[in-house]
Chains A and B, each alone.
Chain A
Amino acid sequence: QSVLTQPPSVSAAPGQMVTISCSGSASNIGYSSVSWYQQVPGAAPQLLIYDDYKRPTAIPGRFSASKSGTSATLDISGLQTGDEADYFCGTWDDSLNSWVFGGGTRVTVL
């Protein structure tokens, strides 16, 4: 059971938008910034979003994120087949003195 809760899967047609939620508590999402990671099959994860909503320079603007209270969301707009991957949220939990990940969400492009 992960400390952060994500839906196991989401899907949409090419060009559509998907939203992935990440729910936590006051000691983790409510305390620290959230980051998101994309893992395509067979590859190492890569940083998609950091500091709740910032994108590394190589990440396209189709990926956006936000945070409110103890929940965070990742939006992927203009869905492409190359976006099929697992997506993980993560943050620091100051009560546990540990990093916590969500269980991951599989994105499927229909």
Chain B
Amino acid sequence: EVQLVESGGGLVKPGGSLRLSCETSGFIFSDYSMIWVRQAPGKGLEWVSSISSKSGYIYYGESLEGRFTISRDNSKKSVYLQINNLRVEDTAVYYCVRDARPGFLEWYRLFSFDYWGQGTLVTVPS
């Protein structure tokens, strides 16, 4: 059974930092691109960042690069999201997501998101 379990969320003051973690199981982690998607309260889904299976392709959402850093450790079957200089508008549930298309070779792009974690809440008070 595929499982994605996020951790690391919490209440952080503006300007602070957080490192979100996503531990996975039930699939060959090193074959898949991984993604972080966030959802602000009452809002839609926002793609935050993605990292290809061997970390060769890393992308960030518009205006997020610079404060957000995605990484992965294939030996630990985990993906991470470092967020620095947190802002009020970063308040959201952050989901760890798996891209549906596996590959021995790295994919430069994403295809669809077949497994989602339960999410971890990041709150940055005003």
User: A residues engaging B (CB < 8 A)?
Assistant: 2, 32-33, 35, 37, 39, 44-47, 50-51, 56, 86, 88, 90, 92, 94, 96-104
With a CB–CB cut-off of 8 A, which chain A residues contact B111? 32-33, 35, 50-51, 92
B48 to chain A, nearest CB (A): 9
Segment 23-72 of B: residues with Cβ below 8 Å from A: 35, 37, 44-47, 50, 59-62
> In this assembly, does B75 line the interface, its C-beta being within 8 Å of a C-beta of chain A?
no
8 examples of A-B residue contacts, CB within 8 angstroms? A44-B95, A86-B44, A88-B45, A90-B45, A90-B47, A96-B62, A97-B59, A101-B47
Q: Considering residues B35, B59, B116, which has the most beta carbons from chain A within 10 angstroms of its beta carbon?
A: B116
A22 to chain B, nearest CB (A): 13
> In this assembly, does B1 line the interface, its C-beta being within 8 Å of a C-beta of chain A?
no
Q: Let me know if B45 and A47 touch, CB within 8 A.
A: no
- Please, how many residues of chain B have a CB less than 8 angstroms from a CB on the other chain? 24
Chain B 106-120 interface 0/1 with A at a Cβ cutoff of 8 Å (1 = within): 000111111111110
Query: Interface residues of B: mostly helix, strand, loop or mixed?
Result: strand
A68 to chain B, nearest CB (A): 19
17 further contact pairs, Cβ within 8 A, besides A33-B112, A45-B45:
A2-B44, A32-B109, A35-B111, A35-B112, A35-B113, A45-B113, A47-B112, A47-B114, A50-B100, A50-B111, A51-B111, A90-B113, A94-B109, A98-B59, A101-B45, A101-B47, A104-B44
Q: Which of A35, A47, A90, A92 contacts B109 (CB 8 A)?
A: A92
Q: Let me know if A99 and B95 touch, CB within 8 A.
A: no
Q: Let me know if B45 and A98 touch, CB within 8 A.
A: no
With a CB–CB cut-off of 8 A, which chain A residues contact B109? 32, 92, 94, 97
B26 to chain A, nearest CB (A): 16
- Name the 3 nearest CB pairs between A and B, nearest first: A35-B112, A50-B112, A99-B47
Q: Let me know if B116 and A99 touch, CB within 8 A.
A: no
Q: Let me know if A92 and B100 touch, CB within 8 A.
A: no
Q: Let me know if A88 and B44 touch, CB within 8 A.
A: yes
